[in-house]
């Protein structure tokens, strides 16, 4: 059986963040993820995890001014210190919450630097982050985003993720493979899994178009889940989609596909 975690940044928006943990547990999830925990105390989050028998699967490093459209700062030479401060903050939360995956949103290229300079800065920052987690069980994940939703986002393909990871050359740095984003940018989902299985540390799902729940768009999630279930993938799959109507109604795909004990 596949391991699905509820993305609390996208699901259960009918209630406040701190109340989402209970709803996730009541609907069969054993793990949760979200973008950022930093507006909440570590203790409050840990209490919710403990009270609802949930594992903290993943969250992101601080990513700049997200509300104003920033999608990470890891490519900007002038923001290295800010990125590194965020690394320490994220590790502090992750250690306290027993979270073993941290995602780097790399940033939207602003044209001030060359591709080579953005790449060099990103690699340097990833090496720094990896060095900070070398004595932990934390894996650092690099996520590619589609450039329709995030124009000029610097890493927008699996191949670019692979280039970055090859340059870093550490087992603690892997790909966060978001099926929704990569369906838009490149498609060929199952073959991509087959060719990059050892490099993928986390998967996220949503259908396309619309970024709604599986079964609402063009992706054949039945086949994708069958493939993953028959593969050696032992990681988690984050449900990072926007419910088409409401969250509880959106969860019917779990029963229809028979992919989780809920």
Query: Tens digit of pLDDT for each residue in 93-152?
Result: 999 999 999 999 999 999 999 999 999 999 999 999 999 999 999 999 999 999 999 999
Q: Which two tokens stand for residue 19?
A: 């109340």
Distances (CA, A) of 204 to 83, 112, 180, 219: 24, 31, 8, 13
The structural domains of the chain, with segments of one domain joined by +, span 3-257
Classify residue 106 by its DSSP letter: B
Q: Which CATH superfamily is domain 3-257 in?
A: Divalent-metal-dependent TIM barrel enzymes (3.20.20.150)
pLDDT at 258 over 70: yes
Which active-site residues does the annotation give?
A: 143, 240
Helix and strand counts by DSSP (H, E) for the chain = 10, 8
> Taking Cα atoms as reference points, which of 16, 33, 23 lies closest to residue 236?
33
With a CB cutoff of 8 Å and minimum separation 6, the contacts of 24 are 6, 8, 11, 12, 32, 52, 54
Write down the pLDDT at residue 261: 59
């Amino acid at each position: 059986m596949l391991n699905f975690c509820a993305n609390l940044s996208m699901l259960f928006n009918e209630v406040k963040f701190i109340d989402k943990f209970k709803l996730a547990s009541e609907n069969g999830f054993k793990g949760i993820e979200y973008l950022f925990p930093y507006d909440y105390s570590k203790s409050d989050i840990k209490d919710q995890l403990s009270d609802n028998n949930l594992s903290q699967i993943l969250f992101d490093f601080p990513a700049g001014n997200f509300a104003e459209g920033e999608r990470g700062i890891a490519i900007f030479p002038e923001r290295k210190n800010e990125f590194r401060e965020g690394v320490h903050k994220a590790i502090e939360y992750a250690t306290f919450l027993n979270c073993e995956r941290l995602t780097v949103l790399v940033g939207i290229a602003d044209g001030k630097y060359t591709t080579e300079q953005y790449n060099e800065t990103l690699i340097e920052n990833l090496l720094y982050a990896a060095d900070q987690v070398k004595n932990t069980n934390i894996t650092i994940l690099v996520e590619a985003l589609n450039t329709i939703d995030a124009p000029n986002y610097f890493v927008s393909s699996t191949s670019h993720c692979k280039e970055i990871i090859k340059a870093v050359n550490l087992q603690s740095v892997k790909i966060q493979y978001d099926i929704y984003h990569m369906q838009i940018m490149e498609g060929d989902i199952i073959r991509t899994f087959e060719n990059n299985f050892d490099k993928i540390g986390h998967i996220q799902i949503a259908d396309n178009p619309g970024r709604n729940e599986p079964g609402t768009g063009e992706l054949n999630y039945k086949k994708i889940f069958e493939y993953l279930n028959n593969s050696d993938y032992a990681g988690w799959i984050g449900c990072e989609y926007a419910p088409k109507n409401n969250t509880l109604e959106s969860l019917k795909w779990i029963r229809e596909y028979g992919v989780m004990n809920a």
